[in-house]
Amino acid sequence: MDRERNGVNRWGLIPFSLEKNSRELGKREERWVQVMGATGKVYLVGAGPGHPELLTIKAANLIKTADVIVYDRLIQEDVLALARPGAERIYMGKPVGLHDSRQDEVNELLVHKAHEGKMVVRLKGGDPFVFGRGGEEAEYLAEHGISFDVIPGVSSAFSAPLSAGIPVTHRDFSSAVAIVTGHFRNGDDGDVDFGALSKIQTVVFLMGVHAVEHIAQRMIVAGRAASTPAAIIQMAFWHGDQTVVGTLATIAEEAKLHGVKAPATLVIGDVVKVREKLKVAERELQRRDDSDVRFAPGPSPQELFRLATAGVGGQLLGWAVSAGVFEALEQPKTVCNLALQLHADMDALNEVMQALVALGLVEARPEGYRNLELASLYLRRNSHQSLVPALMYEVGGSCDVTALDRFVTTGQKTRCSDHEALHYHACEAMARYAAPAVLDRVDLSARKTVLIAGWGVTAYSELIAHRWPHVCVSGINPALGETLPEQNFDAVIISGLLGSASREECERVVCRAGAQLNSGGMLIVQDDLLSVGASVAPEVALARLARRITNGNNAEWSVERVSALLEKFGLQVGSDRLPGVGTLILSEKVNSYSPASVHADLALANQEGALL
């Protein structure tokens, strides 16, 4: 449970002793370390700008071997995917609606896990000692006699401008750069000397997306020309990244116009002009039009052999090779033309091609799908380095591609005899796994009644009873034929129902749930939903394809489609990606919608046979 904070730093500077320490590389070097006194050890690790391939090698190796990973909302799912299966992952980000940083809990958690003898990785975006509160955590660990080490990361102060084609220093424009926090404690910027900053050629503000207008005005008042170029870079190296350029006089309005959200980095100075030259060419680190980020040309032969013996991955690879997909994609080809050539169902083939994109075998370009470099080299039968015979031998001994071939050709599902039982247990397991992450993002302390609609009713009920004992929880599962209680609720959690529902079922669920919310009530949707154009991890792509083969070729709902549906029923909406769990959509009922419209939809739903 969150505790009250006094906002005061309780820890003074801790003296460190100089001693010899043996490193993994076998060299003994002098460095400042604390006196070791605990069984476990804590690593304060910088995760860099977010993409897993921009981690340091040391950081990646620590994530792969850690017993415990403590992370916050600036860590991408692809980075966490590097962790070994048995690692304990603990989310310690800020819950929605709360301003408490939970720093005291983080400090205590690190010490507790170290005393358990664990190897703990405290994972932070950027660099842990650049506005990452890593210094405070190091002080706390030292004060409590915990052995620790600090692994640097690439700070967003440098990587975010780089991603936008902006060098923070340049011989013609800037020989000095200042890095400043844009997040002012209690709204007071008294600790920042804007007079001094106005004289520095390049100034980078971190965490300042909500203070852009204030920062720009203070810089102008301090003497910086209103015409000074400025740029704000949102979510560099993440999905949804964008760069907005203006001047000190216009950057705040431009940021509002383009809907810039955190995390974002503000750059002020003439170096912003360089972007006009560097953005012309397509750079290797630039995102592709399909929002997929891959710096490597495709899987290595070793990765292909692993894929060939991995269940659905083996089916997918075997079918693509035998159908001649890679021979057909030496030049970009639309899914329509490819379906005609392969005599396939276009919608089903598109599902398969998206999975091949996620696996890094082909890429999606505006003009169509095309082989990546190593796919052309190893997966075409007429290539002089073709691995097709060896791969097909592995595929033939490990899986049957009949169901996948039927799906691609006809778009029809193939049900297993025990599919219903397997589906039930799978949905319950995923809901139990998701429940803690969902409830970490919300605050139900002001709610009195909560309905759980869907999977994981028991798990949610137990967690809510532990965190908010005063809340009365009801639970139903419409997928099992259970009906909604005749009462209104302060909050409704729809768990795992929408991802595989038809359009009509989805609308009925949201309509009924929205209608039975009290004014100001919260509707929470947790499901396996993706944003339009978002790339996915290979294991996620294969799991989704497997469900398609079994359940048929019905298009799944995207985050945008569900959000639009919620807004239709008078709900204000926001969404958040939950690492390893899916997507969380949070919405609040407002009074700007027409109750008559909702009742009309309810009547229609009842006529058709409502899911709820």
Condensed to tens digits (0 to 9), the pLDDT of residues 442-498 reads 889 999 999 998 889 999 999 999 999 999 999 988 878 787 777 889 999 988 887
Same domain, 451 and 597: yes
Domain boundary among 103, 119, 153: 153
Query: How many domains are contained in the chain?
Result: 4
pLDDT of 399: 58
| Structural domain contains residue 170 | yes
| Structural domain contains residue 20 | no
What span, in angstroms and rounded, lies between the C-alpha atoms of 413 and 546? 10
Pairing status of strand 119-124 against strand 41-46: parallel
The one-letter amino acid at 337: N
Q: How far is CA 237 from the centre of its chain?
A: 12
**pTM (predicted TM-score):** 0.47
Same domain, 129 and 202: no
| Structural domain contains residue 104 | yes
Domain boundary among 278, 293, 325: 278
| Lookup: tokens for 228 | 């000074």
What span, in angstroms and rounded, lies between the C-alpha atoms of 203 and 184? 16
Same domain, 456 and 568: yes
pLDDT of 38: 39
Domain containing residue 170: CATH number: 3.30.950.10
pLDDT of 318: 84
pLDDT of 72: 84
| Lookup: tokens for 34 | 């604390």
Same domain, 331 and 196: no
pLDDT of 98: 47
What span, in angstroms and rounded, lies between the C-alpha atoms of 558 and 513? 19
| Structural domain contains residue 27 | no
What range defines the domain where residue 249 resides?
158-278
Of 71, 285, 255, 253, nearest in space to 160 by CA: 285
Q: Residue 124 in contact with residue 73, Cβ under 8 Å?
A: no
Same domain, 443 and 589: yes
| Structural domain contains residue 21 | no
What span, in angstroms and rounded, lies between the C-alpha atoms of 590 and 585? 16
Same domain, 184 and 63: no
Domain containing residue 594: CATH number: 3.40.50.150
Same domain, 461 and 394: no
pLDDT of 289: 42
| Structural domain contains residue 25 | no
Residue ranges of the chain with per-residue pLDDT less than 70: 1-39, 94-101, 185-188, 190, 279-311, 394, 396-400, 412-422, 499-506, 530-544, 546-557, 577-582, 590-612
Same domain, 340 and 369: yes
pLDDT of 286: 46
Work out the end-to-end distance of the chain between its first and last CA atoms, rounded to an integer number of angstroms: 33
418: DSSP letter: T
Domain boundary among 92, 126, 153: 153
Same domain, 149 and 164: no
Same domain, 438 and 399: no
Same domain, 48 and 88: yes
Of 82, 88, 85, nearest in space to 67 by CA: 88
What span, in angstroms and rounded, lies between the C-alpha atoms of 18 and 173? 41
Q: How far is CA 191 from the centre of its chain?
A: 33
Same domain, 118 and 262: no
| Structural domain contains residue 466 | yes
pLDDT of 294: 43
Residue 3, burial from CB neighbour count under 10 angstroms (0-12, 13-18, 19+): exposed
Q: Catalytic residues, which ones?
A: 72, 94, 207
| Structural domain contains residue 31 | no
Domain containing residue 76: CATH number: 3.40.1010.10
